Structure 1
Amino acid sequence: MTALIRHITVDCADAYALAGFWSEVTGYPRHPDDKPGDPASLLIAPDGEGPGLLFVQVPDGKSVKNRLHLDLQPTDRKRDEEVDRLIGLGAKLVDDHRKGDGTGWAVLADPEGNEFCVERSLGERA
């Protein structure tokens, strides 16, 4: 027997706002019933089959490094262009592992401090 990953869930202070940030990052649309102030907000995988991103409001703030994080690979731009775009959306650069030869990755944090990585695009890996 196996199990499918239905949602990747992120605890947060403002579910609707953080889902908005991640919707801009991934292109995943919001669930049509979500509205500001809801205790949870769901982003739906564009294919309707992959796991959704579920944001759930919790009373406690983030206090330590994530034990699980997402690694993002840009689909229509280079890694450094994507890092700049995400910073423009409100992410912060946490740690920079990019190297002069074009390899490496950047660690960013979303507006609530959840870390994620941005890797090279497929074109940059070719």
Structure 2
Amino acid sequence: MYLNPVRHITIDAHDPWKLATFWAAVTGYTVGAEDAPGDDEVLLSAPEPGAPGILFIRVPDDKATKNRVHLDIQPPAGTRDEAVERLVKAGATVYEDHRTGDGLGWVTLRDPEGNEFCVERSAAERA
């Protein structure tokens, strides 16, 4: 038993709905049935019981510096590069490319509001 389990990972946003729907596409989490465009808070629920949700909260201030905390995404299928391509089409931008010639490394992307996250190699690529 955890002493203090993580219930939510909270991300500040100008547009919680827009950012939540982007992250739903990234993670496979689901947007709460009671959440709607224009809401000040939007919650994504994990498909696995006990995993923390991702909560997006409206804030007026802009993101000014590098995130102190970020999410690392490991594609469940396919390759890291296919995931990067799919995420860029969904609205992410490549920020820093740490891929190496031998196929190792990761790519740091930014979500539509500039929050950094990394895409690692898939489990199949690590095997």
TM-score greater than 0.5 by the shorter chain: yes
Question: Which residue number corresponds to residue 46 of structure 2?
Answer: 45
Deviations 1:30-74 (A, max 9, x none): 011000100010000112320000000001010100000000000
Question: Which residue number corresponds to residue 111 of structure 1?
Answer: 112
What code does the residue aligned with 2:77 have? D
Question: Which residue number corresponds to residue 7 of structure 1?
Answer: 8
- CA distance in structure 2 between the aligned counterparts of 1:23 and 1:8, rounded to whole angstroms: 14
TM-score, normalising length: structure 2: 0.97
TM-score, normalising length: structure 1: 0.98
The list of structure 1 runs, each at least 4 consecutive aligned residues, that deviate by more than 6 angstroms after superposition, is none
What secondary structure sits across from 1:108 in the alignment?
A: strand
- CA distance in structure 2 between the aligned counterparts of 1:85 and 1:51, rounded to whole angstroms: 24
Question: Which residue number corresponds to residue 121 of structure 1?
Answer: 122
- CA distance in structure 2 between the aligned counterparts of 1:82 and 1:63, rounded to whole angstroms: 27
CA RMSD across the alignment: 0.8
The sequence identity of aligned pairs, in percent, is 56
Q: Figure out how many residues of one structure are paired with residues of the other and give that number.
A: 126
Question: Which residue number corresponds to residue 32 of structure 2?
Answer: 31
- CA distance in structure 2 between the aligned counterparts of 1:94 and 1:60, rounded to whole angstroms: 21
Gaps of 5+ in 1: none
Question: Which residue number corresponds to residue 54 of structure 1?
Answer: 55
- CA distance in structure 1 between the aligned counterparts of 2:113 and 2:49, rounded to whole angstroms: 27
Question: Which residue number corresponds to residue 68 of structure 1?
Answer: 69
